[in-house]
Amino acid sequence: MKDLGSLKLIRSEHRGRVLVLTLDHPPVNAVNGALHEELAEVFRLAEADPDSDVVVLTGAGRAFSGGGDLREMKECVETGTMKLDRVHAKQIIFSMLDMEKPLIARVNGHAHGLGATLALFCDIIFMSTDATIADPHVKAGVVAGDGGAVIWPQLIGYARAKEYLMTGKAMSAAEAERMGLINHAVAPDKLDEAVYGFAQELVEGARDAIRWTKVSVNIGLKQLAHSIMDTSLAYEWHTFQAPDHAEAVSAFLEKRKPNFGGR
């Protein structure tokens, strides 16, 4: 049976009763098949950790997470195989929603694609003013199916969510805070103070009251996620196999504009 220490691409450490989970897949913590599988397990393992009451999710280096690993995507396009698993995709989201411990996002750098989804499904989001957030699935020729279609409309409304999800354009931390997509945009040199100060406030609070308040608030969000995720993931997996996705991956690696055929 795996434990936190057995994970290779997610580091864990304790700061008192705060468990810090750090995505560590250089250079931008892109999600390949191996990290995707670990993400499907890590929140369950964090929930079971007896030495913590609050969890912080962050990224190593200059990014929180750049989203899907496009070089691995290129390999998948060429071989006709998939390195990601739809079951793991659902487990990531539902293990985050099922976790009773408060989960705080420390968005130290860009959070794109699945990286944005991971940040936005946390309970409280602190974001460096140096960072941007985006869900550019459509720019890769695929559906925003791994959670973006669930969480963005709940945070900023359907009209704004569709604008950002259908274009894949990024927004700054200041814009994200103004719209209500995140809680706090924080100067980089103040990020740790803000994140760990808030985490400690929760540690010192009434543990069960805080946990079960989160559980109660998440009931509606879990119901919504259950009603959407199977469909959105099916659409995403279908578009992974479409010509537009192959063209997007090639264009990105060749540093040119994609020529989509609308397929």
Strand order in the sheet with 171-172: 63-65, 110-112, 132-134, 171-172
Cα–Cα distance measured from residue 25 to residue 168, given in angstroms and rounded to the nearest whole number: 23
pLDDT one digit per residue (tens) for the chain, 263 residues: 579 999 999 999 999 999 999 999 999 999 999 999 999 999 999 999 999 999 999 999 999 999 888 777 777 666 766 657 789 999 999 999 999 999 999 999 999 999 999 999 999 999 999 999 999 999 999 999 999 999 999 999 999 999 999 999 999 999 999 999 999 999 999 999 999 999 999 999 999 999 999 999 999 999 999 999 999 999 998 998 888 988 888 888 888 999 998 65
Q: What is the structure's pLDDT at 262? A: 66
Do 128 and 63 contact (CB within 8 A), yes or no? no
pLDDT at 80: 67
Which pTM was predicted?
A: 0.94
Paired strand residues for 11: 22
The neighbouring-strand residues paired with 56 are: 20, 104
Residue 57 is predicted with a pLDDT of 98
Tokens of 112: 């794109």
Label residues 175-186 b or e (16+ Cβ within 10 Å = b): ebbeeebbbbbb
**Domain over 4-189 is classified CATH 3.90.226.10:** yes
Residue type, 249: V
